[in-house]
Structure 1
Amino acid sequence: MPDSRSQTTAGLPTRIDTSVAHEARVYDYWLGGRDNYPADRALADAIATHIPAIKTMARANRAFLGRAVDYLTREAGIDQFLDIGTGIPTAGNTHEVAQRLNPAARVVYVDNDPIVLAHARALMSSRAEGRTAFIHADLHDPAGILRDDSLGATLDLTQPVAIMLVAIMMYFRDEDNPHGIIKNLLDVVPSGSYLVITHPTADFDEQAMSRVAGAAEQAGITFHPRSHAETEALFAGTDLIAPGVVPVVTWHPTPGEEPADPESAWYWAGIGRKP
């Protein structure tokens, strides 16, 4: 059996409230999952009226995660991952991709949704050589993540770590200090670590994305799309690797699967290396 741990941060609810939409469950619905409820599906469908291709875009974002982990494991030699905003388990989780290439890879997942906590055992199924852990915590409190015992027990923070912030920073307004949150995470990992971000944007259709943000806010979910320049600024303190911050489907596409329309998914994506 793999060495795996699960930790719950004090103060976060462990009861699943199915009457209120949650980001992880909305995303699960778009990905074709089953761990969602009427409130989640109602918001997901409302967003789809403004962006009919939203399910395809969500899957493109998920596909990027796989390519990013593949690149970091195979090309950059990274064997430690801190995946924040994990979401509900589906195919191609970070540990599955990394441990397929390096069975000794270690992964710590973080999410604030209690349904993800309920799935932690399945999420952490991994090869015997590798280790995984799950922390039930909120990125609004990065210090709570960093002081959690499971983090230090699973990852060696004296060695490079890939910090995965895939489709999560849009839940932070500028007044939430997203730059400070990311800096707190980068400050505890050494030179040679990596930062991975994808972020929805209004750059490709400002009116549609504005309506999406309104629908999310009406359901009680913060949704703050960012421009190319704003997304690039989130990588402060790192050196962007080629090709920089680009449309998510164009970041190191699988050979033979280059997108016909580079702007078919309204996310920016990039990876930065801490010097």
Structure 2
Amino acid sequence: MTANDEIDTSRPHPARVYDYWLNGKSHYEADAAAARRVVDVWPGVVLGAHLNREFMHRVTRWLVEEAGVRQFLDIGSGIPTEPNLHQVAQAVAPETRVVYADNDPIVLQHAQGLLRGTPEGRTAFLQADFTEPESILGSPQLRETLDLDRPVALSLIALLHFITDERGAYETVHALMDALPSGSYLVVSHATADFDPDLLTRVAEAYQSTVAEGQIRSSSEVSRFFEGLELLEPGVVVAHRWRPEGGEAQSDVTDAEFPVYGGVARKP
């Protein structure tokens, strides 16, 4: 870790705030304070964090079991929380290969937890920024782990609402998908204010603009990330309604309580 990568424990970071909501241990008081402020104005955020993880688990299992995907690129992976993506995928197909990428130095400290996979498969971690796709696609870790001539599932879970249009959110997603071959998939989960128009203002005030800049998007704006791809049924929906296991979403959770869209699309 370089001097520029030293962890600033005085400022909250999205990955560590998320870790707090998931009952993790890899956060500091600044992160916990920010997390509690958000809970005060958005009581469902802790449930939402867990439902978001369940969405990732369901999609990963579907991609491995039904779509035959054996390679994943997970950007904005965050601090390891078991079961992580590679554990879910390799439990179905041990030969699955996974590359994790994140820009938070504390995730680098926990990288060994991300790298413990099956002997048949491979896992790798790289510290990189989503807004610099060339640094991800050209990294030795990715090139040594994934075969970009074969389909790859690009997983962007709870990441894009931290990337504004001005920082190239759409352009970066398209650049990453352009580099992947036909048969690859895009997986997105994204917070929305569609069900509570004041949500963005309240959450931004709770974060006190110290965690990260961001942009909450509508259903149509989230759908734009899938332009040029074949969107799978049921389309862009509140994430706990995306192909729920057992056929029924949690009936006691309203869309307003879990205002996070999820969607999956295939590159033709």
TM-score scaled to structure 1, two decimals?
Answer: 0.93
Maintained 8 Å contact 1:216/1:222: no
Q: Which residue, out of 251, 269, 274, partners 2:262?
A: 269
Report the AA paired with residue 250 of structure 2: P
Cα deviation, residue 216, structure 1: 3.0
1:239 & 1:201 partners in 2: Cα distance? 22
CA RMSD in angstroms comes to 1.5
1:161-194 Cα offsets, whole Å, 9 max, x none, are 0000000001111111211100110111100000
Cα deviation, residue 91, structure 1: 1.3
2:74 & 2:211 partners in 1: Cα distance? 24
1:208 & 1:225 partners in 2: Cα distance? 9
Q: Which runs of 5+ in 1 are unaligned?
A: 1-7
1:215-254 Cα offsets, whole Å, 9 max, x none, are 3352141121100000001111211000000001100111
1:224 aligns to 2:215 (yes or no): yes
Cα deviation, residue 53, structure 1: 1.3
2:140 & 2:208 partners in 1: Cα distance? 34
Report the AA paired with residue 266 of structure 1: P
Report the AA paired with residue 128 of structure 1: P
Helix, strand or coil at the partner of 2:226 = coil
Q: How many residues align?
A: 266
Q: Which residue, out of 47, 53, 63, partners 1:62?
A: 53
Mean CA deviation greater in 253-262 or 194-203: 253-262
1:113 & 1:201 partners in 2: Cα distance? 24
Cα deviation, residue 209, structure 1: 2.9
Report the AA paired with residue 127 of structure 2: H
Report the AA paired with residue 102 of structure 1: A
1:242 & 1:204 partners in 2: Cα distance? 22
Mean CA deviation greater in 235-244 or 101-110: 235-244
Aligned twin of 1:180: 171
Report the AA paired with residue 174 of structure 2: K
1:38 & 1:223 partners in 2: Cα distance? 22
Q: Which runs of 5+ in 2 are unaligned?
A: none
1:220 & 1:87 partners in 2: Cα distance? 14
1:167 aligns to 2:158 (yes or no): yes
Helix, strand or coil at the partner of 1:78 = coil
Helix, strand or coil at the partner of 2:265 = strand
Maintained 8 Å contact 2:73/2:100: yes
Aligned twin of 2:201: 210
Aligned twin of 1:144: 135
1:98 aligns to 2:89 (yes or no): yes
Maintained 8 Å contact 2:41/2:206: no
Helix, strand or coil at the partner of 2:154 = strand
